[in-house]
Amino acid sequence: MALELPVADSRQRNPRVPLTELEQSAFCQVEPLETKPLAEELNAGVRWQRLPDEYVNLTPDQLVERIDANRAALGGSTVILGHHYQREDIIQFADFRGDSLKLSQYAAERQESNFVIFCGVHFMAETAAVLGGEHQRVVLPNINAGCSMADMAPTGDVEDCWDDLMETLGEGSVIPVTYMNSTAEIKALVGRNGGAVCTSSNAGKVVEWAFQQGKRVLFLPDQHLGRNTGLKMGIPLEEMVVWNPFRPLGGHSAEALEESKMILWKGHCSVHTRFTPLQVAKAKAAYPDVNILVHPECPMETVELADYVGSTELIAKTIGEAAPGSVWGVGTEINLVSRLAHENPDKTVFCLDPVVCPCSTMYRIHPAYLLWVTDELLAGRVPNQVTVEEETAHYAKVALDRMLTLV
């Protein structure tokens, strides 16, 4: 039987480091990634959802044959969504691939599909549940596929922060903006308090809108996206503070908060913080004509050295439209970089990080889990359904809709 470790409660108070962050290096290696039977991958030191024994030792060929048959049997009643960071052995089954918002919007448009299998992570499945029809059931193949960044902003800690800011700075003094990579409860808190959601591609527009509503912004949960967005807008570093939820007033005086324009939550992406200025320097030394293209979740020092900065969608579009023979050093998740290299053989595309280190939560969507959930749906059972409480869904949608009116 597969190993099953305790599931972390992302709402526990003051976790020093989320388990999802500690698990990030579990799949890092120097060789190219290759999907193995689940029995072998279970040796990685992460939390796996328990599956029946019959799924554990299936070979890749057996998995492909059975999943293809299940897809045909399910037909239009089921749509399979694949996030850009999924392994190729999952993307091959996706009806649609993209970033988290694009996938959720696509599912909502597919009203004829009663079941949405979201091959991504938990917060993405929540967004699909919020935006989808009442009859649609959203399924996450591996319920332990979470997000370390989202886990760094537990609801209780953010509520404490908001209460402290209101008491210190007063009502209407702060407009909250949360990145898409946050839980539905955090999106709802933001929606309830006059704020909006943003993506990595529209963060500038949303933060600009927020400043039209108030004099400062609380940006959750990724400090790097918030900082890079603020700098691009001309906000100096001296007017940004980082809120540490484990210290009184986030580690700042009331005066420092009053003088700030952006309050950045102390969170980050475990994948994108791996990209460093040293890696950029080595890429430029190896390829003098290289184009450096990185995600805005990377640290400021890395972003400053890049030729291009953009979301997963922009990264894919930029490389896809680039001139033949061009060279691209990319700072984002390895599965996407490898796919772009394969799909653009007329260009040189490589990951800035020499260590192959996928998002460890995304990587938990092994084909065995996809087979299991499709088997369950064909048997009339809905496994791993992700739901959002009605009031939470309402205010999360308020925050999402505010964003969508701006783009």
Taking alpha carbons only, the member of 47, 127, 60 closest to residue 370 is 60
User: Per-residue b/e over 208-231, b at no fewer than 16 CB within 10 Å?
Assistant: ebbbeebebbbbbbbbbbbbbbbb
| CATH fold label, 272-351 | Rossmann fold (3.40.50)
306/22 Cα distance (integer angstroms): 28
Q: Is the dihedral of CA 297, 177, 155, 382 positive or negative?
A: negative
300/304 Cα distance (integer angstroms): 6
pLDDT tens-digit readout, 74-124: 999 999 999 999 999 999 999 999 998 999 999 999 999 999 999 999 999
Contact (CB, 8 A) for 229 and 218: no
Contact (CB, 8 A) for 274 and 357: yes
Write down the CATH number for the domain with range 19-146+360-388: 3.40.50.10800
Question: For residue 67, how far is the Cα from the chain centroid?
Answer: 25
3-state secondary structure of 5: coil
Model pLDDT, residue 16: 60
338/319 Cα distance (integer angstroms): 12
Contact (CB, 8 A) for 299 and 273: yes
135/133 Cα distance (integer angstroms): 5
What are the φ/ψ torsions at residue 139 (nearest 5 degrees)?
Answer: -120, 135
Q: In what order do the strands lie in the sheet with 196-198?
A: 196-198, 175-179, 217-220, 262-265, 240-243
pLDDT tens-digit readout, 226-262: 999 999 999 999 999 999 999 999 999 999 999 999 9
* Separation in Å, CA 392 to CA 12, 125, 214: 18, 14, 24
- Domain spans in the chain, listed from the N-terminal domain onward: 19-146+360-388, 153-267, 272-351
| DSSP track, 70-119 | HHHHHGGGEEEEEETTS-HHHHTT-SEEE-HHHHHHHHHH-TT-SEEEEE
| pTM score, whole prediction | 0.92
Q: Do domains 19-146+360-388 and 153-267 have the same CATH topology?
A: yes
Q: With a cut of 70, which residues of the chain have pLDDT below it?
A: 1-16
| CATH fold label, 153-267 | Rossmann fold (3.40.50)
92/259 Cα distance (integer angstroms): 51
